[in-house]
Every structure is written in C-alpha cells, then in structure tokens.
Amino acid sequence: MKLGIYLNSQHRERDDPARRLAETLEQVRIIRALGFDSIWAGEHHLVPGFHYFPQLSLLLRIAPEAEGLTLGTHVTLLPLHNPVELAEVGAFLDLVTGGKFLLGVGLGYRPEEFAAFGVPMRERVSRLTEGVEIIRRLRTEDRVTHRGRHWQISDASIRPRPLQSRPPILIGAQAEAAIKRAARIGDGWLLVPTPTMEKLSEQMALYRAARSAAKLPMQEHICRLYEVACASDEETAFRRVAPYLLEKYASYASWGLGGVAEKRDGAPEEQLRRLAKDRFAIGTPAQVTDALLAQHRAGITQVAMRVSWPGMGQNDILASIELIGRNVLPKVRRRTSAGG
C-alpha cells in the first residue's frame, strides 16, 4: 500500500498566505525527504472565513520541491472546468512530474461554487461523464472530434502529450449511484474519510460488484483520503488536533456534506473521539500503523493522509509528518508488501 500526504490548502481568512505557502513548501520538502509516495491537494472556491490555495497552481508550484513523488488531485471538481483545459494542464503536470500525475475528479456539492461558475448543479453528472470521456480521448488520441451535450470539439489535439501512455482518471464517489458510475468509467476510485470501517466494507463490495458487472478488473488506484493524527501518546494526539479537525468538520456540515454532523457537547477531545471512532487514525505510531493496515485489508491501495487542518501550527504539523515517516511508514510498507 502506498502512503501519501494530503496538503491542507484551506487557511483562516486572517492568516498570512505567503507564510502559509512557505510552510506548505517546507512540509513538501520533509515529505519527500522521509520517503512518502505521493502528495495530494483538493479544490474549493469561495469558502467563507477562509482562503483556499488554487489546486492545480499549487501542485505546479510544489512540483520542484516534490521531485520523484506522485502528485494527485483529490479531487478536481470537473463540472466546473472545461475538459480541454484539464487535459492540457494535466498533461503538463504529467510532464513536470516525470509521468507521476494522477488526476482525480469529482462532482462537487456546494451550490455557491456552481452558481459562481455559471454551471447548473443539475448538469453536474452529465458534465462529469462527458468531461471524463473528452479528457481521456485527448490524452490518448490525435485528432479528436466530439459532439456532446456540453462541449463540441473538432479535429483537436493537445500538446505536450502526457508521458504516461494512458494516464489514469480516478473518480471520487461516496453515494451508491456515484460508486457504480466510478466503477464503470474510472481508472480508479477516490474515497472520502467519513465512512466507518463497516460502511467502507459495504462500499468496497458495491464497487467490486459494479466492476465485475461491467466485466472490468479491479485497479491499482483505490485511494482514500484519511484523517491521521500521530503523537507519542494517544491523549496528546487527540488534544493536539481536536480544535482544528472539529472546525473542519463543522465547515463540512455547514456546506451540506452528509454524514459528518456531530453533537457539539463535551470537551473537544470527547467530541473528536465520537467522530473518529472506527473512522479516523488518531493515536500513537502503533495505533496509526494498525489503522492503516486495516485500510489495506479492506482493499485500499493508496492512502492520502490528511495530517493538518485550518489553523494548526506548523511545528505540530511537521512533528506529525516526521513521526509517521519514521515510525509508521516503514512498518506499513514492510507488512503490506509481505501480505500483512
């Protein structure tokens, strides 16, 4: 199982963006030095009370600091974009990374974003499926002609071409219909952090059944965004991240994302324990290792570990990355490569 880090691109409105960018680059250099496999970034727009680094621009900026690592999007909100542009930028990122770029796309769910981009939310599924087809053809074919519901192109080619002969397109999905669609049209699947292990097992069975029904094999890219907090003892891990992780999930709930609401009573650590139970990896290196191995046994092939959230201090972020890199990463690699 491959292990990467999902960068926090969302920062509080009053934070100095130049400082936060410098901190992000420092994180990237340490991630690379410790031997992680990948770095991921997400996408959102017009986030009240926060600023959000633009996803593709951020990945291009960190690419020189992340030489040798896979860079991925988890996820790009495809319905908000022109697929020709995504095909071109994605091909360039593939070139910049030496053939190690993974484009992950999803529907999006915030009405404010669709309104700002002038895209009707009712069209998001059709735009996703049509966009995936266009991107895939532009990456692998010359002289592409497409006449669709949303886009029309004639005799089109993109240059430069991606280094990968067939760059994978991974599809983010958590609802039943979306998981089945991802299984049919994707080269991989991106999972969110919210399902419990029981729910993850149900979703994995659904995905496998849909792949089988479409007479398609399972793929290597089954990647989960996963909340991870690691410290020398469990109490410190919960105490260190509780205010920031809870604030993030309060934002999710306010945005209308289902399955993340949590009663806000009791101390922050108590609230986080309820939210994290059977869902996140929070604790000592041994506890985090066990949680990651459970993900592997469930069928996850790659984990994008989110180890920081808006407002969290750089020293705590770096301490967590280093502890995982030195005390978790080698054990997970050894045990998953040995079938553990």
Q: For residue range 70-115, what is the model confidence (pLDDT) as tens digits?
A: 999 999 999 999 999 999 999 999 999 999 999 999 999 999 999 9
> Which residues does 87 contact at the CB level (< 8 Å), separation at least 6?
134, 135, 138, 139, 158
- Residue ranges of the chain whose pLDDT lies below 50: none
Helix ranges, 105-260 (H): 111-117, 124-140, 176-185, 197-213, 234-255
Counting every residue, how long is the chain? 340
Q: Which of 294, 290, 296, 301 is nearest to 331 (CA)?
A: 290
Given this model, what pLDDT does residue 266 score? 84
* Cα(262)–Cα(269) distance, integer angstroms: 13
**84 neighbors 156 (Cβ within 8 angstroms):** yes
**302 neighbors 4 (Cβ within 8 angstroms):** yes
Sign of CA dihedral 302, 306, 307, 313: positive
* Cα(299)–Cα(287) distance, integer angstroms: 19
Given this model, what pLDDT does residue 265 score? 76
Given this model, what pLDDT does residue 240 score? 97
**104 neighbors 75 (Cβ within 8 angstroms):** yes
With residue 111 as reference, give the H or E element that holds it.
Answer: helix 111-117
Helix, strand, coil percent values for the chain (each to nearest 5) = 50, 20, 35
* Cα(68)–Cα(71) distance, integer angstroms: 9
pLDDT, one tens digit per residue, over 141-158 is 999 999 999 999 999 999
> Which residues does 30 contact at the CB level (< 8 Å), separation at least 6?
318, 321, 322, 325
Q: Which of 4, 31, 46 is nearest to 300 (CA)?
A: 4
Given this model, what pLDDT does residue 258 score? 60
What b/e readout covers 187-208, taking b as 16+ CB neighbours within 10 angstroms?
bbbbbbbbbeeeebeebbeebe
